[in-house]
Amino acid sequence: MNQTKKFILITGVSTGIGYGAVGDFLEKGYHVVGSVRSEKDQARLAKEFPQDFTCLLFDLTKSEEIEKAAQEVTTLLEGRLLTALVNNAGGTAPGPIQLLEKDEFERQIQINLFGTRNVTNAFLPHLGATSERPSGQKPGKIIMVSSISGVLNTPINGTYCVSKHAIESLGEVYRRELHMYGIDVISIQPGPIQSEIWNKNQNQMDRFMNSDYGPMIKSVEDILEEAREISQPTKVISQLIEKIIDARNPRTAYIVHSRKWIVTALAHWLPARWVDFLISRQFKQK
Ligand SMILES: NC(=O)c1ccc[n+]([C@@H]2O[C@H](COP(=O)([O-])OP(=O)(O)OC[C@H]3O[C@@H](n4cnc5c(N)ncnc54)[C@H](OP(=O)(O)O)[C@@H]3O)[C@@H](O)[C@H]2O)c1
């Protein structure tokens, strides 16, 4: 058994940030444990990454699948701990919060919030959340792939904002509760990153075009176009994850955005009424 091998668990590795991170962390010599929710993706990735890669199969909304996967990881680790759990899996259900179907809103919260909590709880023992941790074993870190939507609310993307604000809160609560085990919890708050998330949501808002929100939705198209232009490659997130893992005292949260200071000002510094005004201008409400 190789005692020096590092293990990282990344959820949602079928595409985008998670997929990029698998390749990046394999290159760095890690054993990567990834999760997908379809057997097709599992077979594809097993073929693509034949070595040092374990692909778990679970949907974030299915507790029994998560528990089964946690048992597989117990067998794989043979008493070792994960260096990090990266809670990356998630999605979005865009549309005006008034008009989204009840089920759509609830399912998104179920995936992004309840699912992330279920996964975190299931893998906490593998990060060292136990008073009987063998000496010399370093506790793992939990990294939440949140979003700038976790610190800045924007229209027509409300469900996502609510769920990512909840993720920020969840992470902070975990950090303050897990301090006794030495497990740190850090949030990554990306702006636009090149991933499949953009394609997965194409045309989802067409059904709202004839509502009162039509003009706002039209301006979303311009905003998304601009976001695509400034979007960054997934590698920037992998590099930040590595930096967080290596840091003795990482910050609690990192905004990743090519216009980081504008986002920081909007999210943290400016009065909410000013932000309301600026957003209403951007969404051409006046
Ligand atoms: N791309 C951006 O601009 C951006 C910006 C800020 C934050 N983020 C965050 O980054 C994370 C990764 O997103 P991404 O951009 O890489 O998008 P992505 O390519 O769509 O990847 C999302 C991953 O999550 C998985 N997933 C979604 N719902 C799931 C469920 N119910 N159970 C299990 N897995 C599920 C997806 O699996 P399937 O392929 O099966 O759907 C996929 O593997 C997300 O949390 C997202 O909110 C992204």
pLDDT, tens only, 221-260: 888 889 999 999 999 999 999 999 999 999 999 999 999 9
**Which ligand 1 atom lies nearest to the CA of residue 237?**
10
Whether residue 87 has its Cβ less than 6 Å from ligand 1: no
Residue nearest to atom 38 of ligand 1 (CA): 14
Determine phi and psi for 110, rounding to 5 degrees.
-60, -45
Q: Which residues contact 129 (CB under 8 A, 6 or more apart)?
A: 139, 178, 181, 183
Domains identified in the chain and CATH numbers: 7-203+232-271 (3.40.50.720)
Ligand 1: centre distance to CA 195 (Å): 8
The DSSP result for 73-93, as a single string, is HHHHHTT---SEEEE------
Is the C-beta atom of 18 inside 6 A of ligand 1? Answer: yes
Mutate to test the pocket of ligand 1, among 10, 151, 193, 241 (most ligand atoms within 8 A of CB): 193
CB of 89 shorter than 6 A to ligand 1: yes
* pLDDT band per the 50, 70, 90 thresholds, residue 68: very high
Mean per-residue pLDDT, 197-212 = 86
Atom 44 of ligand 1: nearest residue by CA position: 90
Decide: pTM greater than 0.95: yes
CA distances, 170 to each of 34, 142, 250, 283 (Å)? 22, 11, 18, 30
Q: Could you tell me if 237 and 257 are in contact, meaning their C-beta atoms sit under 8 angstroms apart? A: no
Average pLDDT, the chain: 95
Q: How far apart are the first and last CA of the chain?
A: 65
pLDDT, one tens digit per residue, over 106-156 is: 999 999 999 999 999 999 999 999 887 777 899 999 999 999 999 999 999
Q: Using N-to-C axis directions, what is the helix angle for 102-109 and 158-178, rounded to 10°?
A: 30
Q: Is the CB of 195 under 6 A from ligand 1?
A: yes
